[in-house]
Amino acid sequence: MSSIFLPAGRALLAAAFFSSALVAGHAQTVHPTPNGMQVTGNAFTIEVTALRDDILRVREWREDHRPEDASWAVLADRRAARSSVTATPHGFRTKSVEISVDNEMRLTVRDLSGNVLQQQAEAPVYDGSNFRLYMDLDNDEHFFGLGDKPGPLDRRGMSFVDWNTDIGWSESTDPIYKSIPFFYSWRAGRVLGVLFDNTWRASFDFGKDREHEYSFGSVNGPIDYYLMYGPSPAQVTEDYAWLTGNTPMPPKWTLGYQQSRFSYVPESNVLDIAKHLRDDKFPVDGIDLDIDYQQNHRPFTVDRQKFPSFEQMIQQLKDENIHVVAITDLHIASLPNAGYKPYDEGEAQNRFIKMPNGKDFVGWVWPGNTVFPDYSAADTRAWWGTLYTEFAKEGIAGFWNDMNEPSVFNTPNKTIPDEALENIRGDQDFGFKDRVTNHLEIHNILGMLQTEGTYEGLKTLRPNERPFVLTRASYAGGQRYAATWTGDNSSTWNHLRLTTPTLENLGLSGFAMAGADVGGFLGSPQMDLLTKWFEVGAFQTIDRDHTVDTSKPQEPWVGGGTHEAIRRRYVETRYELMPYLYTTVKTMSQTGLPVVRPLFLDFPNDAADHHPIDLDAPGQFMFGADLLVAPPRFPEETDDYPVIFPKGIWYDYWTGARIEKLNDATNPVTITPTLEVLPVYARGGSIIPEQPLTQSTVEKPNGPLTLRVYPDAEKACAGTVYDDDGISYDFEHGASLRMEAKCTATPDGLTVSIGAHQGSYPAWWREVQLEVYGFPNRPKAQSAGQDLEVRQAPTRSAWQITIPDDGKGAEIHIVTSGS
């Protein structure tokens, strides 16, 4: 395997390669184009194209080796997009940025006020097929993204490798499962996104090797990267989603609680787990089946001794509103002459990855001898999708693609050999011509291509049902096909702490549908640790309790009634917040803005010196735009700890108390940690929708829709409720429901306006219950000239007002007592 090129004498190499350009500036030729420029010098070419005013594509190549205009990550119509530019003496400008090149072939990107966003320290440095790009590093520059790399939220001072790897990870482990070569550069509040679109083994160094430079490069492949200017981080997030595709709207049940283990066997054990959850009134929407449901771990089989009534079990769970997610690993058992359909079909159709001698590569994985579909061929991905036919008919709701780094147990590099051959075939939609390549080019995208085959196959088999695919390995753009999780985490307090920055960086990197195994996968958690993990897990986009086969039981009831009651309370809160969560996920599917996100995404300018506010508030995160979750910086600590708030008014979600210590990081709110409380706060200015408790997302809530009204300092607020049937694509044809609500100040109180229902999907509620915060004394309320009853909320400092909702909208006037 080739190593990453980190040359010590890169300046000398660059000087030698570009000597003509360095000595004589006239060797450089600039060709303006309607959408950018092409610069040639010393048999080296730079092409910069404006796809939009705020998005540039940079491609560089030597001599006549212009690379394919192709990408597995960036959508074809986005690559083809063009924006007009204005030529300048040394480059061009758009309505958002200006780009220039000097006589040493170094690019500089500035905003229109002249602030440098990115500046090459020198021309690209080559060593054979290896190359590296070096950029000037600002003194207070910060970096975020790169997917599921363990460690702190800010990547500065660290280095990383992109090479998908199956590993039980620790805080310093790199690489792990995914290669998402996209990062945010933050300079004084101005944010630039960089997508380095190269599938080969790549690396990133954010000031670890050189104090004043950051760099990225690869062992082979093209220099092809995209620059996205915000200036806000949220705009960069949306730009990245525009380039690489949004996360599709998931089935609603995937937002419910899921119970999993490696593995629940036999069939009776699965049913017992489901019964225990339902008997304990512990809300649940899914049970995941790991590889032991299969016959000898062979994908697309069922062990009939362990699961004699598999189809009936699926139906029985479905009748209990519990969805089954079944694992189907990337590989196929090598099993000739045994009637194993996936192998027989694949072998007959020449579907498997070959070695240079023309024979199938055979590795050792869970089934024993194993072959690997060549997912780089479009027709093989389509064939893979057909393998789900029987499972789809049987009603398995979701599928879990694992071991897809790909993992191989018996090779020196623990994956497919570098020299294995794979066929890029039929991939014109991505811009690729048919050709044969080696595994080094395909390795990092194999998992993503598997999930594309799974996702598209399920859409073909069940055309009006949203697929749910869960993957461990992927590449940039993989969010179009699958959700993900953080892989084989450990049952330690430190891994609970690492959950938040890992999920935040995944969300910033496109994978907003993500979670971490509650309780940890490797090991057995202490009971307090499991309980605290349940609390945090309730505020993850995917909430799944999963553990290894050698661990002790890790179900919600383990540890006794006190622990189970606390865990239940948080999962119940998640279900009560389902209207808020589902609405947030709808926004995610349209914009790319993640559910679990750093504070700086919503509050980019809160720090006086424009640094990201999260650096002052490690461990805190936003759950959607309106809820701030504030676990201890070190989850096991018992000492008091500070909570830092962005500017504005905040309310304790549990008590309704208004937060008084605001906007002063030197005097934050101090929290005394307890086992039963995870601090959560609602943003002043928000309206948060909630529903009566249900035991699954399929169950229709019984009672009013609650709107928690949190006025800001000007007594203004706004919120949205979105709903649809939760499973089909009918929402694309108008079968959805959207309702807006807002509050505005009046001289003697405020007015809450509930908008008319939009869309044809019927509301499950017939009444709306306002829960209004910020009034110390009982207010009065009227609607349409009628006095309304105002009640004290049972457990919070708030006032409740219930009105009928006929879908036409209403205004409620709330005035302070005595007015």
Beta carbons of 325 and 400 less than 8 angstroms apart: yes
Residue with tokens 């039981």: 553
Element (H, E) at 335: none
Contact 154, 600 (CB under 8 A): no
Is 402 an active-site residue?
Answer: yes
Give the β-pairing of 332-333 and 421-424: unpaired
User: What does DSSP assign to residue 105?
Assistant: -
What CA–CA distance (Å, rounded) separates 223 from 229? 19
190-196 vs 421-424, strand pairing mode: unpaired
Per the residue annotation, which of 148, 205, 285, 405 is the catalytic one?
Answer: 405
Lookup: tokens for 598: 């750093």
Tokens of residue 716, six digits:
């203004």
- 811 is an active site residue: no
The yes-or-no answer on residue 488 being catalytic is: yes
Q: Where are the beta strands (DSSP E) in 274-425?
A: 286-289, 323-327, 332-333, 363-365, 368-371, 398-401, 421-424
List Cβ neighbours of 485 (8 Å cut-off, separation of 6 or more).
Answer: 470, 472, 514, 515, 516, 517, 542, 544, 546
What six digits make up the tokens of 581? 């969560």
> For residue 614, what are the contacts with CB-CB under 8 A and spacing of at least 6?
153, 154, 598, 599, 600, 620
Contact 219, 4 (CB under 8 A): yes
Greatest extent of the chain over all pairs of C-alpha atoms, in Å: 90
Strand-pairing partners, residue 710, are: 686
Q: Which residue has the tokens 């093209």?
A: 222
Distances (CA, A) of 221 to 59, 129, 202, 810: 11, 8, 10, 60
Choice among 488, 602, 626, 723 that is catalytic: 488
Rounded Cα–Cα distance for residues 639 and 620 (Å): 17
Joined together, the tokens standing for residue 487 give 């892989």
Round to whole Å and give the CA distance between 717 and 799: 16
How many Cβ atoms sit within 10 Å of the Cβ of residue 41? 23
Element (H or E) spanning 562, and its range?
helix 561-576
Q: Which amino acid is at 428?
A: Q
Which residue in 224, 239, 267, 402 is the catalytic one? 402
- The angle formed by the CA atoms of residues 656, 662 and 668, to the nearest 5 degrees, is 95
Please identify every residue annotated as catalytic.
402, 405, 488
